[in-house]
Amino acid sequence: MAKQITIEDIAKLSGVSAGTVDRILHNRGRVAPGTRAVVEKVLAETGYRYNIHTSAVALRKGYRIAIAMPAASKGEYWGSIHDGISHALDEFSDISIDCSFSFYDQSDGYSCRTAFENVAEHSPDGVLIGGTFRNEILKFCSSLDMKKIPYIFMDDAAEGCRPVAAFSADRKTCGRLIGRMLDILSPPPHQNNDRLTRKELAVFHSLSENCPEKHPDSEIRAGLLEYFTSAGQPAAIHEIGMPLLSPEECRLEVEKFMDMHPQTSGMAVINSRGSVIAGILGSLGIRNMPLVALDLTAGNRKCLAEGSISAVISRHPELQGFNAVKAVIRYLLYGQRDKEISHLMPIDIVVAENLPYYRNILTD
């Protein structure tokens, strides 16, 4: 964490009193133009950021924040949420925060339970929760409620729990957007004996033997199917499970599917592993297949630039992590919670044409 720059530091470097710096930061009271120019120059050189959360109470007291979330590499979906958290901790570095992470395997319910138990044992001041195992989340939140420990959700709409806030993208809307893009990008059905045939489309979803609970993919799937139903589009939608723990088995599933459905005119991947399917299609010599993916991960970004993915639906995971930290800090300092618990993130459609101009809300 960067060294904390205080108002006193700015005052010493500027050769003025702390009160003068405070008046400039708050734009109140009279300050000579020359003095203001000197102080503003020091503020710019030191990179000082005035933070509305900074207060005498905040600077005196330390807070322990625990974060339980799936493990992921940088550039992956949960890795971007982690980036947002790190960015927020740096942004609010003037507040003393002891932050600890408990990562777990998102395909393993036991790993999730162990991570939650580890957090509960340390009785932190606040908790950030990200996960896919609904039953484990409900039990964990119940224990936090009993201890009166505030918690924030990331990538979750907070159904059945009482969080301070929840940050996520609406999964059904993501599904509808994926469906619309798949419909637009796939060629129209063929005319056969004066009858219009249906489009044949493939939808890949997560499949994990260690995750028996209802998976978040199901809400995205529901939105996708809802789009085709409401739009009245004639389409045969084939669903294929992606064995997340076995790339070779996943490749065999795609190969088998294409042998059975050679007329497939478009594909969608309703998890963040679109690049996996793009790579498999390339290895099978299948080119120019319209492919719509979810989340602008490093792999999906590369495939979008190369043309093996046609479009990506981005739901700004980094913003979820940033806002979650901001919400827990605000609650710990002032006991403030928003009237609306659930906060929906922006959803973007990214294609090759706007990829070079697409900006990360926080870091670009």
DSSP 266-309: EEEESSS-HHHHHHHHHHTT--S--EEEES--HHHHHHHHHTSS
Token pair listed for 114: 């162990």
Residue 209 gets which letter from DSSP? T
Token pair listed for 170: 């609406």
Pairing label, strands 266-269, 235-243: unpaired
Buried b (16+ CB within 10 A) or exposed e, 104-127: bbbbbbebbbbbbeebbeeebbbb
Determine contact, residues 109/211, Cβ cutoff 8 Å.
yes
Name the segment(s) of the chain with CATH classification 3.40.50.2300: 56-168+317-345, 171-314
The kind and range of the H/E element at 63 are strand 63-70
**CATH class belonging to 171-314:** alpha beta
Determine contact, residues 80/42, Cβ cutoff 8 Å.
no
Q: Give the closest residue to 235 by CA, choosing from 268, 205, 260.
A: 268
The pLDDT value recorded for residue 28 is: 64
For the chain, residues with pLDDT lower than 70 are 1-4, 26-29, 49-60, 158, 190-197, 207-216, 233-234, 244-245, 360-364
| pLDDT tens, residue by residue, 218-245 | 889 999 999 998 877 667 899 998 876 6
Pairing label, strands 348-350, 311-314: antiparallel
Determine contact, residues 275/293, Cβ cutoff 8 Å.
yes
CATH for 56-168+317-345? 3.40.50.2300
What span, in angstroms and rounded, lies between the C-alpha atoms of 235 and 182?
Answer: 11
Burial label for 158, CB within 10 Å (0-12, 13-18, 19+), is buried
Determine contact, residues 294/316, Cβ cutoff 8 Å.
no
The pLDDT value recorded for residue 149 is: 95
> How far is residue 46 CA from its own chain's centroid?
31
